[in-house]
């Protein structure tokens, strides 16, 4: 652990960049100290806990060391991450068509994993000659272990092999990497410093609406879309984006869509509109999974999963798009047996099992993400109750009320 002098230096950096009242959250200080040590680091912490701050402060405190290459798995993250970079730190997005980019290098260069190709390696080769790469960051590293992104795992290995002479250390970030999957990352980094925080987000209430069929699902959707609340609805397919927009329109609710087949400029505009302040913003967005991971908007109050989530990691990550400001938020799952019996290829059985389970939703998720069982909602100070805990508490109250009434009648007699 850092000594007092090191803590003072890092805290001074924190307040210079983020304001005089800025304070450390969770294990940020420990993660920053490990990152400054120039060793490989795996930092797993809940969504909204400020993992990106570690990269910002590393760049700020370590400017002389060189450029940070920050690789993200989704195009939608690039603009969001750059917009959240403090003005004290220079940053840009890698543009494969900009042949002059290497002449004016920022402190942080954001790169989509889709752009890591022969042309990018040529760019890296130029950096090796003209500048030092101080660290490579892999954001949302858990995604590289899923079927959709697994092919890109080879890309990460290729980067390490390319930089084999004096390779820069790695910083691997994740909000939902189960311990059971950590071993798979040994291909990338055999012995990283591991820093892990519990995944639970107490201010989110997890609610399941298990419906009899499509009509009831539509009724539930209209019921839980609170007009005026900023709401993000996740669906599995592009067709469902249009379906859900139509359902809401029938109820006089306007919504916009977001999916992978949109043009980059259209996606950028939707993301910008989404992040605008309440009087200007798009209130309801219906999106496929390409939108959810890593997007940070503190005003989002409600998340809805229509039908199913791809798996437990996507469900957790997408639910965590709500309540980023620390205020109470809700994550709804609206589904039915009929829907779950016709899931697209690649979707796991997580939703089916989760929807039927009578355990505390928070405990189910902590077992999936952390490998250990958390306390039930009611036992966590200031935690929002899930639907199962609400039912259990209401049942307990009704039993106690009956006993009290019976006792009272006996006393009167």
Nearest to 361 by CA among 202, 211, 238: 202
Neighbour-count burial of 129, counting CB atoms closer than 10 A to its CB (0-12 exposed, 13-18 middle, 19+ buried): exposed
- Model confidence, pTM: 0.85
228-277 pLDDT, tens digit each: 788 999 999 999 999 999 999 998 888 999 887 888 788 878 877 877 76
Residue 282: pLDDT over 70:
no
Q: What is the mean pLDDT of residues 47-60?
A: 92
Is residue 319 within 8 Å of residue 200, measured between CB atoms?
Answer: no
Nearest to 285 by CA among 243, 255, 265: 255
Residues β-bridged to residue 41 = 171, 193
Q: At what angle do helices 312-319 and 361-370 cross, to 10 degrees?
A: 120
149-158 pLDDT, tens digit each: 667 777 777 7
Q: Calculate the alpha carbon distances from 179 to 42, 182, 204, 220, 265 in Å.
A: 11, 5, 23, 35, 38
Nearest to 310 by CA among 338, 340, 351, 339: 351
Is residue 140 within 8 Å of residue 293, measured between CB atoms?
Answer: yes
Q: What is the pLDDT of residue 194?
A: 95
Which helix H or strand E contains 91, and what residues bound it?
strand 91-93
Nearest to 354 by CA among 293, 289, 310: 310
Structure tokens that stand for 354 in this block: 């989760």
Q: What is the pLDDT of residue 343?
A: 92
Ordered domains of the chain (ranges, CATH):
4-196 (3.40.50.300), 204-393 (3.40.50.300)
Strand pairing of 67-72 and 108-112? parallel
Residues β-bridged to residue 173 = 43
Under 8 Å CB-to-CB from 62, ≥6 apart: which residues?
36, 134
156-197 pLDDT, tens digit each: 777 877 777 778 899 999 988 888 888 888 878 889 999 999
Residues β-bridged to residue 258 = 287
Under 8 Å CB-to-CB from 362, ≥6 apart: which residues?
200, 206, 374, 375, 376, 377, 380, 383, 386, 389
Is residue 207 within 8 Å of residue 353, measured between CB atoms?
Answer: no
Q: What is the mean pLDDT of residues 353-357?
A: 94
Classified as helix, coil or strand, 248 is: helix
Residue with tokens 């009434």: 405
């Amino acid at each position: 652990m850092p000594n007092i002098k090191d803590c003072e230096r890092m805290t001074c950096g924190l307040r210079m960049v983020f304001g005089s009242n800025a304070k450390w959250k969770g294990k940020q200080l420990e993660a920053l100290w490990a990152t400054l040590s120039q060793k490989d680091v795996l930092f797993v912490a809940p969504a909204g806990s400020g993992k990106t701050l570690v990269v910002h402060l590393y760049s700020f405190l370590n400017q002389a060391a060189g450029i940070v290459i920050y690789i993200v798995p989704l195009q939608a993250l690039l603009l969001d991450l750059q917009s959240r970079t403090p003005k004290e730190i220079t940053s840009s997005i890698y543009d494969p068509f900009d042949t002059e980019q290497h002449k004016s290098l920022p402190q942080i260069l954001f790169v989509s994993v889709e752009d890591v190709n022969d042309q990018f390696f040529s760019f890296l080769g130029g950096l090796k000659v003209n500048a030092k790469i101080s660290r490579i960051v892999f954001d949302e590293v858990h995604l590289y272990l899923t079927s959709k992104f697994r092919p890109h795992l080879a890309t990460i290995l290729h980067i390490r092999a390319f930089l084999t002479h004096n390779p820069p250390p790695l910083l691997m970030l994740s909000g939902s990497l189960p311990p059971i999957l950590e071993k798979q990352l040994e291909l990338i980094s055999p012995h990283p410093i591991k820093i892990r925080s519990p995944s639970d987000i107490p201010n989110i209430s997890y609610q399941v609406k298990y419906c009899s069929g499509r009509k009831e699902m539509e009724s539930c959707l209209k019921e839980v879309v609170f007009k005026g609340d900023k709401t993000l609805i996740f669906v599995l397919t592009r067709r469902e984006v249009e379906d859900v927009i139509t359902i809401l329109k029938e109820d006089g609710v306007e919504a916009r869509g977001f999916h992978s087949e949109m043009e980059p400029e259209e996606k950028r505009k939707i993301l910008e509109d989404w992040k605008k302040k309440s009087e200007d913003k798009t209130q309801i967005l219906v999106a496929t999974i390409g939108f959810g991971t890593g997007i940070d908007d503190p005003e989002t109050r409600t998340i809805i999963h229509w039908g199913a989530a791809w798996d437990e990691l996507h469900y957790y990550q997408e639910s965590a798009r709500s309540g980023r400001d620390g205020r109470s938020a809700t994550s709804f799952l609206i589904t039915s047996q009929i829907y779950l019996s016709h899931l697209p290829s690649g979707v796991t059985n997580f939703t089916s099992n989760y929807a039927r389970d009578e355990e505390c939703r928070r405990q189910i998720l902590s077992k999936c993400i952390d490998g250990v069982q958390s306390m039930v909602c009611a036992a966590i100070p200031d935690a929002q109750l899930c639907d199962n805990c609400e039912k259990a508490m209401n049942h307990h109250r009704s039993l106690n009320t009956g006993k009290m009434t019976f006792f009272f009648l006996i006393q009167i007699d």
